[in-house]
């Protein structure tokens, strides 16, 4: 995406209605006043050539006019010109700015995320026709100066029609002003589609993420976001999450199984990951994972008594296995109470050959282990560094540090120390 003129950002910001959730500002643009002063229209071939010629004075690297015409012939909704209403003449329409989109089909979005889509000369096989529902929309280019910036929201209204409104919107900012503009609209740095992720693009999500694309360990979506009675799992990331896990374990192990407190809370909780299982919005189960050099240990599986007929334990174990595979582990180890060995066997755990039977906290245990393979997209050295620093279990979603990358490099503390040394 290419955007010229910082006033795009300022004008758009002024047009936003107050909303409680800043992440949805893109869909709250007020265009009523703009429509009294500006119009947008589909230009003819000569007018496209004139608009592109003007844009090239400000923006390097724009695609050729022939490509624009070819894409517009396939889908006329790809290019919108902006004009002042008082100067607009339908007999000879002339614009002063434009907004261009690539309406992508499923294969086109996948190639965009993978970085293999030639956006300067897109193959029509990856585009959706005018009467087809796009799988995603790429903001191809924007050129608007002065008053024309107000026409950008008018053009965006064209991708809020019933045919397009569920398609996620993608953009690539090639200027600092473009970065600011996308941030004002609520775009997030980083994009995803059907399990593919990239940090090269920005994304505005308008469709719910398909459940099959979400890891088992990150399917709880907060209050009323997971279905009234759905069983979901999430990684504990806050102290409140951790307190939920300790409350569940206290109910199950300390109260039900009469485990002494100091034996249940054994000093390992802050060197582990914790999973929480939910039924609807109620936290009902937990599980702990600790990590060693060549294996991960699954332990402290607990489900509240009144929810044990909902399959919560199975959801937690499956999520734990997937989390360990995503971390690259090939072996997962557990201690099973002897009465529950058959439960672990459902997930292909086997009693450890040469393992021991032992007792702790008044129950008898055996060692079980699962031999597995890492996830195809396991976290490892060499992946995109932004993925590595995302929150635990959220490697498939762009994180806050990617959004911070919009800011320029200033090294505030280092520069301050240099200044202080210079003064000394």
Q: What is the rounded distance in angstroms from the CA atom of residue 77 to the CA atom of residue 137? A: 11
173 and 49 housed in the same domain: yes
From its phi and psi, is residue 114 left (phi > 0), alpha (psi between -120 and 50) or beta?
A: alpha
Residues in the chain: 424
Within-domain flag for 111: yes
Provide DSSP, 34-96.
Answer: HHTTEEEE---HHHHHHHHHHHHTT-TTPPPHHHHHHHHHH-GGGEEEEEEGGG--TTS---S
Residue 368 near residue 348 (C-beta atoms within 8 A): no
- Beta bridge partner(s), residue 366: 336, 357
- Beta bridge partner(s), residue 127: 104
The pTM score is 0.59
Instruction: Give the E-state strand segments of 267-308 in sequence order.
Output: 272-279, 282-291, 296-303
Q: What is the rounded distance in angstroms from the CA atom of residue 219 to the CA atom of residue 201? A: 24
189 and 325 housed in the same domain: no
> Residue 341: which CATH number?
3.40.630.30
Within-domain flag for 409: no
Q: Report how many domains make up the chain.
A: 2
Positive/negative CA dihedral, 248, 252, 253, 256: positive
166 and 252 housed in the same domain: no
Which of 152, 187, 213 corresponds to the end of one domain?
Answer: 213
The values of phi and psi at residue 65, to 5°, are -60, -35
Residue 38 near residue 147 (C-beta atoms within 8 A): yes
236 and 209 housed in the same domain: no
148 and 280 housed in the same domain: no
74 and 200 housed in the same domain: yes
Domain that holds residue 141: 7-213
208 and 235 housed in the same domain: no
169 and 277 housed in the same domain: no
Q: What is the rounded distance in angstroms from the CA atom of residue 211 to the CA atom of residue 220? A: 11
Within-domain flag for 109: yes
Q: pLDDT by residue for the chain (424 residues), tens digit each?
A: 444 443 344 434 433 333 334 433 555 545 555 557 888 899 999 999 999 999 998 888 899 999 999 999 999 999 999 998 888 888 888 998 999 999 999 999 999 999 999 999 999 999 999 999 999 999 999 888 877 777 787 888 888 888 998 899 999 887 677 777 777 777 888 888 887 888 889 998 887 666 667 899 999 987 644 446 899 999 999 999 999 999 999 999 999 999 999 999 999 999 999 999 999 999 999 999 999 999 999 999 999 999 999 999 999 999 999 999 999 999 999 999 999 999 999 999 999 999 899 999 899 999 999 999 999 989 999 988 888 999 999 998 877 787 676 667 888 777 777 777 777 6
104 and 205 housed in the same domain: yes
């Amino acid at each position: 995406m290419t955007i010229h003129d910082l006033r795009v950002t300022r004008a758009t910001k002024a047009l936003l209605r107050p909303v409680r959730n800043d992440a949805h500002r893109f869909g709250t643009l007020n265009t009523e006043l703009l429509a009294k002063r500006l119009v947008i229209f589909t230009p003819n071939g000569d007018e496209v050539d004139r608009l592109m010629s003007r844009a090239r004075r400000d923006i390097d690297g724009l695609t050729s006019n022939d490509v624009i015409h070819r894409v517009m012939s396939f889908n006329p909704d790809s290019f919108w010109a902006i004009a002042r209403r008082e100067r607009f003449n339908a007999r000879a329409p002339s614009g002063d700015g434009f907004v261009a989109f690539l309406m992508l089909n499923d294969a086109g979005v996948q190639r965009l995320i993978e970085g293999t889509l030639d956006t300067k000369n897109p193959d029509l096989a990856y585009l959706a026709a005018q009467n087809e529902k796009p799988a995603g929309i790429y903001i191809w280019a924007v050129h608007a100066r002065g008053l024309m910036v107000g026409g950008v929201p008018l053009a965006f209204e064209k991708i809020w029609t019933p045919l397009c409104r569920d398609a996620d919107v993608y953009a690539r900012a090639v200027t600092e002003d473009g970065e600011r503009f996308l941030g004002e609209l609520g775009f997030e740095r980083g994009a995803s589609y059907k399990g593919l992720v990239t940090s090269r693009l920005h994304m505005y999500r308008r469709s719910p993420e398909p459940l099959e694309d979400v890891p088992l360990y990150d399917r709880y979506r907060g209050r009323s976001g997971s279905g009234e009675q759905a069983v979901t799992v999430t990684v504990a990331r806050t102290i409140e999450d951790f307190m939920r896990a300790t409350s569940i374990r206290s109910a199950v192990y300390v109260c039900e199984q009469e485990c002494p407190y100091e034996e249940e809370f054994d000093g390992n909780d802050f060197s582990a990951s914790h999973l929480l299982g939910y039924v609807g919005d109620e936290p009902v189960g937990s599980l702990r994972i600790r990590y060693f050099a060549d294996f991960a240990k699954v332990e402290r599986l607990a489900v509240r008594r009144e929810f044990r007929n909902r399959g919560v334990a199975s959801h937690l174990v499956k999520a734990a296995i997937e989390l360990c595979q995503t971390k690259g582990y090939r072996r997962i180890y557990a201690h099973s109470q002897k009465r529950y060995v058959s439960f672990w066997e459902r997930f292909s755990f086997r009693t450890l050959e040469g393992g021991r039977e032992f007792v702790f906290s008044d129950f008898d245990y055996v060692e079980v282990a699962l031999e597995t393979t890492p996830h195809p997209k396991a976290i490892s050295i060499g992946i995109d560094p932004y993925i590595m620093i995302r929150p635990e279990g959220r490697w498939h979603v762009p994180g806050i540090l990617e959004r911070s990358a919009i800011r320029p490099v200033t090294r505030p503390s280092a520069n301050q120390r240099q200044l202080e040394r210079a003064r000394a």
